[in-house]
Amino acid sequence: MDFRPGSILPPKQAAMASELLPDGMVAAEADATVSIVNRRAAQILGIDPAELVGRDIRTALVLRDNDGTDWWDLTDPWNGLDIRTGHREKYLMVDGGAEVLVTAKYLRPGRNQPVNRVIVMLRDAEARRRLEADHAALISTVAHELRSPLTSVKGFSSTLLRRWDRFTDDQKRLMLETIEADADRVTRLITELLDVSRIDSGRLQIRPLPIDVAAVFGRHVERAVASGQERERFSIEVPDTLPEVWADPDRLDQILSNLIENAFRHGDGVVTLGAQPATANGQEVLESKGHSATGVDLVVSDEGKGIAADHRDLVFSRFWHGSGRGSTGLGLYVVKGLVEAHGGRVQVESAPSGGAQFRLSLPSEPPDYLA
């Protein structure tokens, strides 16, 4: 079989090879007659391959730009410039209005020679559309979440500047506290967005240190009490013999803050912060990621209504809000990314009280590069 530059596989052998491709492929010969249509192309186009083979590809496979211009008229592989080798991926529409992603490759027997085969690769645009929809949803969420606190900050600050002398000290303090709270809300949203970007791109950095779990839980309780929560709403359950957890202190604080806030927003009753040696399932996950010592499970649970079993696979996805709003829907997505960056796993269960329980399986030994 000839594999020299400029040579091409015979149509029958090329057709067999095309079935190994994950994308659709339609090929036309030097006279523009369709010679190959693989099964994936037939699925994407929704037609029988026999309807294309033997016909002029320019009329059999209609491809148009968004403005309705015929793509074959623009590219003209057979009569255009002899130096062209193909075209990069582009959104085009086929008959019926469906959108596909199209890439073209021109095969020539030699430099500046007419094409002897044109290969058109087709890809279903649905996945790309879903990605674009996710980006649009992210932009919409950011715009909505930023507008409310910024409107408040702008309103109160403008009012204070223009009418400072008309307000009592208590009124000024209330408005300044509101401005501070809304500024913190904006800062948190920006932090979540940056973390989402780092998680998606694999650039999230973790700097683990040995951490006393009981001390961390106590710090979070004191912080919540200082912000207005009742101390009676917390319970800490950590055995004295529990080993330290190896985690990034700042990231662990971020994880627990998200879970505790989630418990107060969506749960009810007492919020329990517990820790115990990792369950068999959690230890299996840690060992699969290179942690041989006994891991630790951190548990945050409440006494609310819990999370329905058919929703538990969704809670860590972007923009999940459950039965109510009041958040960006990014918090638990970030929690999952941070826990997995430590080599652990987070899952949601039913608490003994019937509420929601989040279990974090984290290592109790340093990573290999610190050992």
- pLDDT tens profile 70-126: 999 989 999 888 888 899 998 898 887 788 999 999 998 888 888 999 999 999 877
- Top-level CATH class of 129-201? mainly alpha
CA distance 283 to 333: 22
pLDDT digits (tens, 9 = 90+) for 250-263: 999 999 999 998 88
What is the predicted pLDDT for the residue at 328? 64
Give the chain's residues under pLDDT 70: 1-8, 292-293, 319-328, 368-371
Nearest CA to 242 out of 198, 203, 297, 161 is that of: 297
CA distance 9 to 29: 11
- Our measurement of the distance from residue 272's CA atom to the centroid of its chain's CA atoms, rounded to an integer in Å, reads 30
- Our measurement of the distance from residue 25's CA atom to the centroid of its chain's CA atoms, rounded to an integer in Å, reads 30
Nearest CA to 208 out of 257, 244, 237 is that of: 244
Please tell me the CATH superfamily of domain 209-362, with its number: Histidine kinase-like ATPase, C-terminal domain (3.30.565.10)
Residue 217, both tokens: 């839980």
What is the predicted pLDDT for the residue at 46? 87
In CATH terms, is domain 11-124 a member of 3.30.450.20? Answer: yes
Residue 169, both tokens: 């000290």
DSSP code of residue 301: E
- Per the CB < 8 A criterion, the answer to whether 208 and 370 are in contact is yes
What is the predicted pLDDT for the residue at 6? 44
- Our measurement of the distance from residue 278's CA atom to the centroid of its chain's CA atoms, rounded to an integer in Å, reads 28
The domains of the chain are located at 11-124, 129-201, 209-362
Q: Can you tell me whether residue 326 is helix, strand or coil?
A: coil
- Per the CB < 8 A criterion, the answer to whether 294 and 364 are in contact is yes
Q: Can you tell me whether residue 245 is helix, strand or coil?
A: strand
The 10 Å CB-count burial string (b at 16+, else e) for 205-238 is eeebeebebbebbeebbeebeeeeeeeebbeeeb
pTM of the model: 0.61
Q: How far is CA 166 from CA 71, 175, 240, in A?
A: 68, 13, 57
Q: Can you tell me whether residue 109 is helix, strand or coil?
A: coil
Query: 87: part of which helix (H) or strand (E)?
Result: strand 86-93
Where in 302-344 does DSSP place strands (E)? Answer: none
CA distance 277 to 273: 14
Q: Can you tell me whether residue 298 is helix, strand or coil?
A: strand
